A and B are shown apart, each in its own frame.
Chain A
Amino acid sequence: MSDINISALAVGEALPERSHTATNVSLFLYNAIIWNPHRIHYDETYTTQVEKHPGVVIDGPLQGDWLNQVVLNWMGDNGTLTSFNYSNRRASYLGETLTSGGAITAIDKQAGTVDLEIFIKNEKGDVITPGTAQVRYS
């Protein structure tokens, strides 16, 4: 990465989008490292028959991390992530491809801060995990 010049940024500017397609393997590894044994993330029969989901559930906090990475991978080496908020509004299931992205909502050159609105969208284009973040430049 390189540095970001805050003077060159503009409100409304979009952050790079990225697509994420979870697999059985990636969900297994994620739930293993976060030590989450909830069966809805790896046991399809249980998930559909007992908890009545249409498929294996993609973890909300995993989407939170993908959302977080929209900021981390954009903000440059001179940026510091100071705050990050998100909420999982709608569930997402194995087989779906999700798209992450965002845009600049405010710039305070005096304080050296940039406010961002970030999102995870499903294939229909609905925002299922919205969020906000602030990056500080010194």
Chain B
Amino acid sequence: MSELISAEAKSWIGRSGEPQRVEINRTDIIKYSIATEQRQAKYLQGDEAPPMFMFGALRPLVPMSELGPDGISVDKFLPELPLKRVMAGGTEMKFHRTIHPGDVLRATRSLSDIIEKQGSTGPLIFVVYDLRVETEAGELVMEERQTRILR
């Protein structure tokens, strides 16, 4: 096993990215709630963020020069692996506290695992990321485990 995953790639397991600081504001919650067709007043008025709001709030903010012709920026938090086609795997989320305008949150992403598997159409590599979102005081807000499948 692990013929596809180099020792260099394996050494990435356990690494964490720079914590990202996010200020939550009402206008962004309202825009997100309109775009996702929320039905509840607390979301549409921006009093509380819908649970999936953080997905958008944590997307990378990079200069235009770092966007490729497809519009995507290169994810630097991925080691060199021999399989290149990325598919979305599963997302598992745990919610500990609701999010409101004025909250200042800190998000940290870690690369938790890289696993080689044999799929029906050939080898697959599963890359597992864990995201942890806390308040500035260290109170846990949410946890997310995201799996990306490379083939």
Q: Which residues of A contact B (CB under 8 A)?
A: 1, 20, 26, 29-30, 32-40, 46, 50-51, 60-62, 64-66, 68-69, 72-73, 80-88
How distant is B136 from chain A, measured CB to nearest CB, in Å?
22
Tell me the total A-B contact number using a CB cutoff of 8 A.
88
Count residues of B near A (Cβ-Cβ below 8 Å): 29
A32→B59 CA distance, assembly (Å): 11
B90 adjacent to chain A (CB < 8 Å): yes
How distant is A128 from chain B, measured CB to nearest CB, in Å?
12
**B66-109 interface mask toward A, CB cutoff 8 Å, 1 = contact, 0 = none?**
01001110000000000000001111111100000000000000
In the complex, the answer to whether B95 meets A69 with C-beta atoms within 8 Å is no
In the complex, the answer to whether A88 meets B88 with C-beta atoms within 8 Å is yes
A73→B50 CA distance, assembly (Å): 11
How distant is B67 from chain A, measured CB to nearest CB, in Å?
6
In the complex, the answer to whether A30 meets B36 with C-beta atoms within 8 Å is yes
B137 adjacent to chain A (CB < 8 Å): no
In the complex, the answer to whether A29 meets B31 with C-beta atoms within 8 Å is yes
> Nearest CB to that of B64 among chain A residues?
A37
> Nearest CB to that of A33 among chain B residues?
B31
In the complex, the answer to whether A84 meets B93 with C-beta atoms within 8 Å is yes
How distant is A103 from chain B, measured CB to nearest CB, in Å?
20
Residue numbers in B under 8 Å from A83 (CB-CB): 92-95
Residue numbers in A under 8 Å from B37 (CB-CB): 20, 26, 66, 69
In the complex, the answer to whether A81 meets B51 with C-beta atoms within 8 Å is yes
> Which of B31, B35, B50, B70 interacts with A68 by CB under 8 Å?
B50
A38→B75 CA distance, assembly (Å): 13
B115 adjacent to chain A (CB < 8 Å): no
